Structure 1
Amino acid sequence: MNAITFTERAATLQAAYQALLETEPKLRARERAKRLDVSEAELVAAQCGVTATPLAGTAQEIFRELPTLGEVMVLSRNDWCVHERHGEYEQVDAEKGIGLVLGKDLDLRMFFSMWKSYFTVVEGERRSVQFFDGAGVAIHKVYLTEHSNIAAFDAISAKFAAPEATWPHISAYPIDETPNQPEDAAALRESWLALTDTHGFFPMLRKHKVSRLGALQAAGNDLAQAVAIDATETMLQAAAASSLAIMCFVGNRGIVQIHSGSVQKLLRTGPWYNILDPKFNLHLNTEAIASCWVVNKPTSDGWVTSLEVYAADGELIVQFFGVRKPGVPELPEWRALLESLCSTPLAK
């Protein structure tokens, strides 16, 4: 796309964007993109409501600069759940296709093959670094706070600024045609019972060519059990009341963002059930929940249980564990809490 075509396309989108703002000013960026039938990356590229600098280089190169920003608020989400965490990028491993961030506050798993376009963004007083996938959907956003290093943000903008603006190449992802039933449910169950680490679960799904939800439905109630649709609220209220430390995983195609610790302030706002703590916010659209499951996996440290929440299309919305580290057994209080959600016993 040449410069003139880019300018014309951006101007057309800006006009549509302004018209939408006049009628519905409170929409979030993701909702505005849907209303305008474009991707969020295209809204940013067209400078709709923001001043954006497109970035060149690889996502890994940019990611390795993020520790210079100091304390930030990082946001990762899917269509139904938003995960926000305050902290600093401490231990960053972003050399290969799969990356890792570890620290006392930030815990991330990045799948960089999905990261396709990147920008530094200024919206009023808010500054952020934003990463998008090939469909133009936001993977990860890094917002500066009052404690962040603005000079470092400007340095990232200058170091990686693309020589010219180009329109994001947007392409829809193919429909996932993974079967929802295993060819051999008994063989799947045998593989499940042979697990020694929770990280072996995804390779097991690939081996048996079955979707995650399909595996839960086929495994048997002692390994995966459907529970009440409001199980997440029940669990969070109990965890908050007892100061039980939990882990909360929210992911999309390009990242999984994790919170570890207790939760305190819970609040419902319309369809959204929220955790509103100083360093951790979660916003879960409970109207999107189609099913909740208690999932039970054997490991070398004993059984590990999780609460998994699914949308109507079978996509995983959010996942909860009790806080634990490899080599350490699951918290008995967490196990008891999840067992209390179940109508029949779990394997042990």
Structure 2
Amino acid sequence: MTTTMLDLKKQYAAFKTENPKVRIRDAAQQLGVSEAELVATGVGETAVQLAGDFRELLKDMPTLGYVMALTRNDSVVHERKGEYKDVSFNGHVGLVLGEDIDLRLFLANWKFGFAVHENDRRSLQFFAPDGEAVHKIYLTDKSNETAYHALVGKYRAEQQDGVLDIEPKLEADAPTPDADIDVAAFQQAWLDLKDTHEFFGMLRKHKVARLQAMRLAPEGYALPITMEAVKKVFAEVSKIGLPIMIFVGNRGCIQIHTGEVRKLVPMGPWFNVLDPQFNLHLREDHVASAWVVKKPTTDGVVTSLELFDASGNQIALIFGKRKPGIPEKTEWREVVASTLPATV
């Protein structure tokens, strides 16, 4: 272990002693390093560096059985229990299409991996080139621990020195000025959508940022609401047992919960869903804007809630449960409509 790594290890140990409840992501920020570097200080004790093709490792994930998948960004944590099933890749883009664990994977943004054993929990943790976490997988008391050890042995890196080639964090491109966008063409493209999956490509084609699109949308297709209104939607779908879809992502992974949300627990700045198979932890104070968004499809209009932070980054995306070929449920539209201001 290098002198720099030893110094960081000492700093982190002292920090944990003084701040035992601070999460590792926040500790990294306060210490001015990446989360991956803090995990790497445990190599040889609490962490094993992983190597090889993460695509192959992920294809082996079904052997672990029932686990907890965790994906987050700066504002929300999405935790879903279940099994990794139907894992496939097309180049560096992957899919996990189990009924419980449903993921979109972007392996071009994965660089570091570790097996971690800390606080009596075993996990696999993956990080972007700048050391920011993109996805974590935790064993549960129902997981196959023998398969976990076999997987760690199979993908264990030869070098276990904790040294990481961390790359600088990429700065997001500035949005195209509104004046440089053909708004009429953009709005027509929105109205001509046939599938919700076309939305991202439409934004790229017209060089429109996601939050900017909310402002420039055709009239009536993106309506601003408050965080209180978003919480009312959660309360109502919880009350009537209406299943929804909650997408949370970062540049390496999008994780999707499909199902009911039952136990809603506000706690300080956090709005939480605390159900047996699904937990969500959302920082309410990070939600700078929220929108009801309508997208035309061949199955009729599809309605979603989109949440953004102050920098214009998407925090979360929420739909009523539906599948292609099936129209959106009337109950979902009614719940969302009930939160809109009377003047809309």
For the aligned pair, the TM-score class normalised by the smaller chain equals over 0.9
Among residues 49, 55, 60, which one is paired with 2:50 in the alignment? 55
Residue equivalent to 1:128: 123
The structure 1 residue matched to 2:75, chosen from 69, 80, 90, is 80
2:170 to 149, 165, 173: 173
CA distance in structure 2 between the aligned counterparts of 1:117 and 1:98, rounded to whole angstroms: 17
Rounded Cα–Cα distance in structure 2 between residues aligned with 1:323 and 1:301? 14
Q: Map 1:102-251; keep pairs closer than 5 Å.
A: 102-165=97-160, 166-170=162-166, 171-179=168-176, 181=178, 183-251=181-249
Q: CA separation in 2, counterparts of 1:222 and 1:81?
A: 28
Q: Distance in 1 between matches of 2:282 and 2:20?
A: 22
Does the CA-based 8 Å contact 1:61-1:94 persist in structure 2?
A: no
Alignment correspondent of 2:274: 276
Q: What is the aligned length?
A: 341
Equivalent AA in structure 2 for residue 269 of structure 1: M
* 8 Å contact from structure 2 (residues 84, 101) kept in 1: yes
Q: Distance in 2 between matches of 1:174 and 1:80?
A: 18
In the TM superposition, what is the alpha-carbon distance from 1:46 to its structure 2 partner? 1.4
Structure 1 residue ranges (4+ consecutive) displaced by more than 3 angstroms after TM superposition:
343-346
TM-score after normalising by structure 2: 0.96
Aligned pair in 2 of structure 1 residues 262, 161: CA closer, same or farther (>3 Å)? same
- Amino acid corresponding to residue 287 of structure 1 in structure 2: D
Provide, for residues 77-136 of structure 1, a one-character-per-residue CA deviation record: whole Å limited to 9, x for no partner. 000000000000111113521100111211100011101111111113110001100110
CA deviation profile, 1:198-253 (whole Å, cap 9, x unmatched): 00000000111010010110113411111123222111001101111100000000
Equivalent residue number for residue 307 of structure 2:
309
2:330 to 328, 332, 342: 332
Distance 1:309 1:49, change over 3 A: farther
2:40 aligns with: 45
The answer to whether the Cα contact below 8 Å between 1:56 and 1:161 also exists between their aligned partners in 2 is yes
SS in 2 for 1:94: strand
Q: Within 2, Cα distance between the matches of 1:209 and 1:344?
A: 33
Q: Which runs of 5+ in 1 are unaligned?
A: 1-5
Q: In the aligned structure 1, how far is the partner of 2:201 from the partner of 2:342?
A: 28
> 1: CA distance between counterparts of 2:222 and 2:231?
19
Structure 2 residue corresponding to 1:89, chosen from 84, 90, 98 = 84
**Unaligned runs of at least 5 residues, structure 2:** none
Q: Which amino acid aligns with 1:101?
A: V
Could you state the TM-score of these two structures normalised by the residue count of structure 1? 0.95
